């Protein structure tokens, strides 16, 4: 007899079967490596060996006390926050344009936003090396337009690192916001205006609340990307700008201190996890939005 329970068991089995390949991949590639990193972070360190099997908290103590690491953490957080905020604001403006304007704008902006995703991070960095130096494109453009009188160098500045980061994470913010914006009914803008709301009031009362979920999502996504990207700030920023990513590389390869590098990595993963939990509380309560 095929009972309702039997059917439910069958459905559950199908569910797990379908999920199994990706779950397996995730466990193999992600969970085991993260577990390995966590284990490594508790090992001892006696140069010249990379690590010594042990269980110690030394590296976490250093994490909290080493001023160099603290500076790198601060740099990373500040840079990531700035870049994430900027990318979300820029992406919001662009999605608004795409949402409100005729279709030809839509294709143009979506095309532009896809570009950074088509090239690898490294080739984009090479691009910035052509644009940002004293004899680069941007410098010539600024002089040519009369905005500055002398050629300027922007490469290896904090601004360059910021710019590179924003460029790298902008598409993610954009597409997340667009997917949320596209689900809204544009007629609501007319209804709002019809009831006497100025465009600014309509934005504050209708557009922003309805897309706030997307803003929070895009911001957390952007922050995670900005947090984790290593090559861009290291290749475009000044030598004095140390980020957590660079710190890990330095400890891992420069000083062969694997446990400390692992402890930094674990701290970053924990920070991101904490951030995700925090962001969830910022999301509006799920209402029956039908």
Partner 1 sequence: MSESILELERVRLQYGPVVAVDDVSVTVGKGEFVTLLGPSGSGKTSTLRLVGGFEHPTGGTIRIAGRPVNGLPANRRDTATIFQSGALFPHKTVAENIAYGLRMRKVPAAEIARRVAEILEIVALPGFEHRYPAEMSGGQRQRVALARSLVVRPSLLLFDEPLSALDLSLKLQLRAEIKRLHAELGFSAVFVTHDQGEALSLSDRVAVMAKGRIEQIDRPDTLYNSPANEFVYTFMGESNRLDVTAAGGAIRDLQGNLLPLSLEDGLAEGAWRLYLRPSRLSLSEHEPVRSNALRCTVSMVEFLGEHFRYHLACNGLRLMCDASAKLGLAEGSEVVASWSTADMRAYR
Nearest partner of 181 among 219, 156, 207, 150, judged by Cα: 207
Q: Please name the residue that has the structure tokens 């002089």.
A: 143
CA distance 118 to 142: 28
Backbone angles phi, psi at 204, to 5 degrees: -70, -40
Please, which residue, 55 or 187, has the CB nearer to partner 1?
187
Closest to partner 1 by CB, 151 or 213: 213
CA–CA distance, 270 with 268 (Å, rounded to integer): 5
Helices (H), the chain: 4-25, 32-41, 58-65, 67-100, 103-118, 121-131, 137-145, 158-181, 187-194, 199-202, 208-228, 231-236, 244-249, 258-282
Q: Which of residues 222-261 bind partner 1 (CB under 8 A)?
A: none
Return the number of the residue (166 or 189) whose C-beta is nearest partner 1: 189
Question: Given candidates 89, 197, 231, 256, which one binds partner 1 under the rule CB under 8 A?
Answer: 197
Q: Which two tokens stand for residue 13?
A: 């089995």
Question: Under rule CB under 8 A, how many of the chain's residues touch partner 1?
Answer: 23
Of 163-192, binders to partner 1 (CB under 8 A) are: 185, 187-188, 190-192
Kindly state whether residue 203 participates in binding partner 1, applying the rule CB under 8 A: no
Q: Taking CB under 8 A as the criterion, which residues in 88-107 touch partner 1?
A: none
Q: Which of 206, 226, 241, 263 binds partner 1 (CB under 8 A)?
A: 206
266-285 positions binding partner 1, by CB under 8 A: 284
What residues line the site for partner 1 (CB under 8 A)? 185, 187-188, 190-199, 201, 205-206, 209-210, 284, 287-290
């Amino acid at each position: 007899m095929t009972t309702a329970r039997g059917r439910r068991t069958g459905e559950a089995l199908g569910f797990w079967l379908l999920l199994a390949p990706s779950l397996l991949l995730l466990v193999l590639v992600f969970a085991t490596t993260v577990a390995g990193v966590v284990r490594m972070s508790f090992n001892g360190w006696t140069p010249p060996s990379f690590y010594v099997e042990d269980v110690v908290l030394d590296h976490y103590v250093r994490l909290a006390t080493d001023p160099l690491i603290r500076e790198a953490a601060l740099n990373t957080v500040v840079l990531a926050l700035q870049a994430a905020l900027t990318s979300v604001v820029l992406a919001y403006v662009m999605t608004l344009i795409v949402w409100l304007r005729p279709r030809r704008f839509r294709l143009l902006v979506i095309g532009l936003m896809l570009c950074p995703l088509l090239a690898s991070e490294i080739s984009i960095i090479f691009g910035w090396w052509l644009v940002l130096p004293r004899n680069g494109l941007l410098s010539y453009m600024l002089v040519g337009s009369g905005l500055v009188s002398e050629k300027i160098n922007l490469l290896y500045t904090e601004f360059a690192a910021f710019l590179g980061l924003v460029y790298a994470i902008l598409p993610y913010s954009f597409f997340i916001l667009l997917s949320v914006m596209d689900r809204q009914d544009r007629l609501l803008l007319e209804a709002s205006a019809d009831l006497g709301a100025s465009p600014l009031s309509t934005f504050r009362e209708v557009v922003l609340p309805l897309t706030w979920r997307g803003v929070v999502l895009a911001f957390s996504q952007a922050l995670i990307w900005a947090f984790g990207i290593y090559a861009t700030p290291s290749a475009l920023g000044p030598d004095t700008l140390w980020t957590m990513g660079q710190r890990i590389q330095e400890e891992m390869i420069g000083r062969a201190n694997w446990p400390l590098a692992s402890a930094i990595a674990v701290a970053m993963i924990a920070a991101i996890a904490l951030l995700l939990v925090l962001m969830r509380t910022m999301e509006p309560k799920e209402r029956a939005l039908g």
